[in-house]
Structure 1
């Protein structure tokens, strides 16, 4: 059975960018519902013991398993999203900063492209900063519950949630303002650096907690 991971910080730790009220609904209700449905479907299909990554990829390859995919992928996306934020913001440095500069020019240009990708994404989904196997960086977005697990050439470094429930209580319909504040105040560049190293073969990539 998959668990609902605890937030890696207090509910109010990311205010005002993300409020405790938003986390109460987003983590405790939305994310929990995805995990609960995933567990129910996993049991029905005899998939106990598989990782969340394995369940998601299994469902992604079978159109008849759309409900399982939506819930497993959203379980994974949200858990990664919580870890992609941090209360004690620190700017990227070292190898990660060099990769950002090489891909975008500088961190300001990276932010501009990240925000533009998120603002320009129609409907619900996710905006990602990802690394290719050669360490070069790209920014992309996915719809609804889709993620990058089925794209083996890409390793996610960071992700921001574009579903309205992620920001509406705090920023109303100002998705751009939310993305700008998110990038400037809570993006976890330490996680991004670790993921970049993993993409290049040094260390393990982030994974959802193993089933219990």
Structure 2
């Protein structure tokens, strides 16, 4: 299945944004993430964010014509746009940030150098990131962001992301730690989910996010 990017605010059917297809089959990330969770997560949760965002934007007048740029306006446009606009954007990135086991590659030389500068090694980064993701209280996300040329690990509640706050950084890797992302397989064992998630990280996509967008100060498109 091909990944469809967000579309401009002038679709023939009146919607602002379109639910993207998954870039792989529902079961492609097993055993790390099961097919049922992927189907529900994409077809129900992500689809609902997109629908509610489209409904809300029929009354709002955003300046942005793409989902990435909308994030900077989301808080000003009210909680419905903030929550569902963030959910639509975060998940659009999330699917592409994962790939079947053994297909995700490794950090590029440039990204690995940046990781080493902060955490000493890829393993040191993964340990710090996993700790942050596991410690998120309730529902939210953990992110690797680019801020002023360097890398940082941050977390956001609910469906927020760093693009919503000016100068807060550009996300290049993120993990969804809402219960709907893992509960069917892992129940309350979030640390187990986070550990298995590393096996399906799509480093090729993260490299692209880092080198072609974030280092240039451009939000990663959805």
Instruction: Tell me, yes or no, whether TM beats 0.5.
Output: yes
Unaligned runs of 5+ in 1: none
- Asked if structure 2 preserves the Cα contact closer than 8 Å seen for 1:127 and 1:139, the reply is yes
CA, structure 1 residues 81+193, in 2 after alignment: closer, same or farther (shift >3 Å)?
A: same
Residue of structure 1 in register with 2:5 after alignment: none
Aligned partner (choices 162, 169, 188) of residue 177 of structure 2: 162
Please state if 1:196 is matched with 2:210: yes
CA, structure 1 residues 156+108, in 2 after alignment: closer, same or farther (shift >3 Å)?
A: same
Question: What are the Cα deviations for residues 73-114 of structure 1, in whole angstroms up to 9, with x where unaligned?
Answer: 111011111111111132213111111111101111111101
CA, structure 1 residues 93+50, in 2 after alignment: closer, same or farther (shift >3 Å)?
A: closer
Equivalence map 1:147-186=2 (5 Å): 147-149=161-163, 150-183=165-198, 185-186=199-200
Aligned partner (choices 10, 18, 21) of residue 25 of structure 2: 10
Q: Matches of 2:162 and 2:206 in 1, distance apart? A: 15
Aligned partner (choices 111, 116, 131) of residue 96 of structure 1: 111
Aligned length: 203
Equivalence map 1:26-105=2 (5 Å): 26-47=41-62, 50-62=65-77, 65-87=78-100, 88-105=103-120
Residue of structure 1 in register with 2:145 after alignment: 130
Question: What are the Cα deviations for residues 24-52 of structure 1, in whole angstroms up to 9, with x where unaligned?
Answer: 11000000011001111111224497222
Q: Matches of 1:56 and 1:206 in 2, distance apart? A: 11
Name the SS of the counterpart of 2:172 in structure 1: strand
Q: CA RMSD in A?
A: 1.8
CA, structure 1 residues 42+4, in 2 after alignment: closer, same or farther (shift >3 Å)?
A: same
Q: Matches of 2:111 and 2:61 in 1, distance apart? A: 41
- Asked if structure 1 preserves the Cα contact closer than 8 Å seen for 2:133 and 2:177, the reply is yes
Q: Matches of 1:143 and 1:175 in 2, distance apart? A: 16
- Asked if structure 2 preserves the Cα contact closer than 8 Å seen for 1:89 and 1:186, the reply is yes
Name the SS of the counterpart of 1:13 in structure 2: helix
CA, structure 1 residues 112+66, in 2 after alignment: closer, same or farther (shift >3 Å)?
A: same
- Asked if structure 2 preserves the Cα contact closer than 8 Å seen for 1:31 and 1:78, the reply is yes
CA, structure 1 residues 41+81, in 2 after alignment: closer, same or farther (shift >3 Å)?
A: same
Unaligned runs of 5+ in 2: 1-14
Q: Matches of 2:148 and 2:210 in 1, distance apart? A: 9
